[in-house]
Amino acid sequence: MAHDDYIPMHARVAEITDETPTEKTFTLEFVEDELPFRPGQFCTISVLGAGEAPFCIASSPARSDAIQVTVRRYPQGTVTSALHELAVGDYVGVRGPMGNGFPLEEFTGRDILVVAGGIGLPAVRASILYLLEHRSAYRNVTLLYGARTPADRVYNDDLAQWEQSPEIVCRQTVDMKDEADDWDGHVGLITTLFEPLDMDGPQTTAIIVGPAVMYPFVVAECRQKGITDENMYFSLEAQMKCGVGKCGHCAMKDKYVCLDGPVFTYAQMREMQEY
């Protein structure tokens, strides 16, 4: 990490974007330091007095003097609530980068399938941006994004751009919609986006982030398409306190999600999940 131990770097809130009623994206500019990171790595953000919590870095790794994180506010979450109260110009503390990230450089020459459910999209946004910035190194890049309702969708600008882009196949769905919703796209669970895809399974690496309930169904679809468990990469969530593999909260079997993860292949997860 850039800073030893528990001392956070200062960052200024430069921009706040309302994504949904419960999700905001914060652009944080570092005061003195930089934070070079890999896609899929995370950092902790402190609102001093409220505490500290881990968040995936959602911005492109091309920029290290500022990062973006998207935060869903949970009623019981003291840190997420405090973050949502911040205004542009306020300061937060940042520690990181933490964790392993997605080994995107190992995926060169392959088809990439990104599957994001709900608030999982921020965790893969850095990877999507990286893939697009290094587009020639990869074959087909496909994004499947599912949200609960049209109102729960984040990164509407990005998604609109990706839908138009010849460089990425972007398929979206919502689980359900109301009469009032202005949504003429696909309706159905994220798994329904797999069926029409023409994929070269053995040549494909999948990046999958979403709520845990989604995983078994997505794994089944990926296997159906011929993607091996070793080529399915997940970013796991766990309760984390220290972010440096010591406090014990995120331990799963013999792995620390914060240190050995948060990215694991499904082959690894099969060994870990029971604990």
Kindly list the residues in this chain that would bind other proteins in the complex (CB under 8 A). 1, 4-8, 10, 12, 31, 46, 48-53, 74, 76-77, 79-80, 89, 91, 93, 212, 237-239, 241-242, 244-249, 251-254, 275
Q: Nearer Cβ to other proteins, position 80 or 205?
A: 80
Q: How far is the CB of 150 from other proteins (least distance, A)?
A: 22
Q: How far is the CB of 241 from other proteins (least distance, A)?
A: 4
Q: Nearer Cβ to other proteins, position 56 or 199?
A: 56
Q: Nearer Cβ to other proteins, position 95 or 225?
A: 95
Q: How far is the CB of 12 from other proteins (least distance, A)?
A: 8
What's the rounded Cα separation, in Å, for the pair 42 and 185? 31
Q: How far is the CB of 61 from other proteins (least distance, A)?
A: 21
Q: How far is the CB of 145 from other proteins (least distance, A)?
A: 20
Q: Nearer Cβ to other proteins, position 56 or 129?
A: 56
Q: Nearer Cβ to other proteins, position 30 or 183?
A: 30
What's the rounded Cα separation, in Å, for the pair 164 and 183? 17
**Secondary structure of the chain as H, E, C letters:** CCCCCCCCEEEEEEEEEEEECCEEEEEEEECCCCCCCCCCCEEEEEECCCEEEEEECCCCCCCCCEEEEEEECCCCCHHHHHHHCCCCCCEEEEEEEECCCCCHHHHCCCEEEEEEEHHHHHHHHHHHHHHHHCHHHCCCEEEEEEECCHHHCCCHHHHHHHHHCCCCEEEEEECCCCCCCCCCCEECCHHHHCCCCCCCHHHEEEEEECCHHHHHHHHHHHHHCCCCHHHEEEECCCCCCCCCCCCCCCEECCEECCCCCCEEEHHHHHHHCCC
Q: How far is the CB of 90 from other proteins (least distance, A)?
A: 10
Q: Nearer Cβ to other proteins, position 91 or 217?
A: 91
Q: Nearer Cβ to other proteins, position 78 or 161?
A: 78
Q: How far is the CB of 32 from other proteins (least distance, A)?
A: 9
C-alpha distance from residue 159 to each of 17, 156, 168 (Å): 15, 5, 11
Q: Tell which residue, 180, 10, 174, has the closest CA to residue 95.
A: 10
